[in-house]
């Protein structure tokens, strides 16, 4: 939906201008700011539809901005895409655990960047699927109410945990989730499980999905995401 308001927080002027230009080409309303303190004030005052947030900022850092927004009942629902230098895996994991929705590493493709922005906006505004809704991605069908999965029309038998992981990831295609977020979503935060156990479930799930296995993408050092396009 063209016209959504996006707040871009980036202290490097050339990157800031490039992002703003490409988003405005897509008919988004863009506000830019170069430091964390101002970003926090603007976000809390205007409640934009999306925040594009660089983690390395003068003064108040991006992770702290994210943390404070998620503590604010009025601002906590603002979706956040983090911008980070390649290799800052610890910061990426921390940001996702704080509630950020996705991340993009620098340098990045502007085409991919805009696509990810559209995906996050679409998912954040679309609401949660109803309990009996069927999610369809090419040959993969996930019937949430019947706890049924089909690949190319053939029924796939999944364990409860495998099904819940697949459903959780598929409801937000393109969004990156850490192993801890996956565990909390499918079992509850008190469930004692290790990262290795999550990886084991993913391996089993991929084997059963066969030709649709590549829908579940490993994000090195962070976790997993569901690919909307195979």
> Residue 101: what pLDDT?
83
Contact between 7 and 45 under an 8 Å Cβ cutoff? The reply is: no
In tens, the pLDDT along 121-146 reads 887 765 444 455 688 998 999 998 77
Q: Are strands 148-151 and 154-156 parallel, antiparallel or unpaired?
A: antiparallel
Number of domains comprising the chain? 2
Q: What is the pLDDT of residue 86?
A: 64
pLDDT score, position 1 = 53
pLDDT of residue 90: 82
Which residues are CB-contacts of 19 (< 8 A; sequence separation ≥ 6)?
A: 8, 10, 30, 32, 52, 110, 113
Do strands 177-178 and 223-226 pair parallel, antiparallel, or not at all (unpaired)? antiparallel
Range of the domain at 163: 134-226
pLDDT tens-digit profile of 79-90? Answer: 999 998 866 778
Whether residues 155 and 119 share a domain: the answer is: no
Residues 10 and 34 in one domain: yes
- pLDDT (0 to 100) of residue 5: 96
Query: For position 92, what pLDDT does the model report?
Result: 85
CATH no. for residue 189? Answer: 1.10.10.10
**What does the pLDDT read at residue 192?**
47
Which residue among 126, 155, 172 closes a domain?
Answer: 126
User: Residue 41: what are its φ and ψ, rounded to 5°?
Assistant: -65, -45
* Domain edge (last residue) among 62, 94, 126: 126
In this structure, what token pair is assigned to residue 122?
A: 């679409």
39 and 70 housed in the same domain: yes
Instruction: Select from 126, 145, 163 the last residue of a domain.
Output: 126
Q: Is the peptide bond before 107 cis (omega within 30 degrees of 0)?
A: yes
157 and 109 in a single domain? The answer is no
CB 29 within 8 A of CB 58: no
List alpha helices for the chain, DSSP H.
13-25, 36-46, 62-71, 89-98, 110-126, 160-170, 179-187, 195-209
Q: pLDDT at position 120, please?
A: 84
Question: Which pLDDT score is estimated for 190?
Answer: 44
Structure tokens at 152: 């190319």
- Sort strands 216-219 and 140-143 into parallel, antiparallel or unpaired: unpaired
**Is residue 21 domain-shared with residue 112, that is, in the same domain?**
yes
Beta carbons of 51 and 69 less than 8 angstroms apart: yes
Which CATH number does the domain housing residue 37 bear?
A: 3.40.50.2300
pLDDT of residue 126: 57
List the one residue out of 199, 191, 214, 211 whose CA is nearest residue 162.
199
Q: Which residues of the chain have pLDDT under 50?
A: 127-130, 189-192
pTM for this structure? Answer: 0.70
Give the per-residue pLDDT at 201.
87
Q: What pLDDT does residue 132 have?
A: 54
pLDDT of residue 189: 46
Please tell me the predicted confidence (pLDDT) of residue 188. Answer: 52
């Amino acid at each position: 939906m063209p016209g959504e308001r996006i707040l871009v927080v980036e202290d490097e002027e050339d990157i800031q201008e490039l992002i703003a230009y490409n988003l405005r080409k897509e008919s988004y309303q863009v506000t830019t700011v170069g430091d964390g303190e101002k970003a926090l004030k603007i976000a809390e005052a205007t409640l934009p539809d999306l925040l594009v947030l660089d983690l390395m900022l003068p003064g108040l850092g991006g992770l702290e901005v994210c943390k404070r927004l998620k503590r604010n009942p009025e601002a906590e629902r603002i979706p956040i895409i983090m911008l980070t230098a390649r290799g800052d895996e610890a910061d990426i994991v921390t940001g996702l655990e704080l509630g950020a929705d996705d991340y993009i590493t620098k340098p990045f493709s502007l085409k991919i960047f805009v696509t990810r922005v559209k995906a996050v906006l679409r998912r954040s505004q679309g609401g949660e699927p109803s309990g009996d809704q069927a999610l369809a991605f090419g040959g993969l069908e996930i019937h949430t109410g019947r706890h049924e999965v089909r690949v190319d029309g053939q029924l796939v038998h999944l364990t409860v945990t495998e099904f819940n992981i697949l459903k959780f990831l598929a409801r937000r295609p393109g969004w990156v989730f850490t192993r801890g977020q996956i565990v909390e979503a499918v079992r509850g935060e008190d469930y004692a499980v290790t990262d290795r156990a999550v990886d084991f479930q993913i391996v089993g799930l991929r084997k059963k999905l066969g030709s649709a296995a590549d829908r579940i993408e490993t994000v090195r050092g962070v976790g997993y995401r569901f690919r909307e396009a195979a």
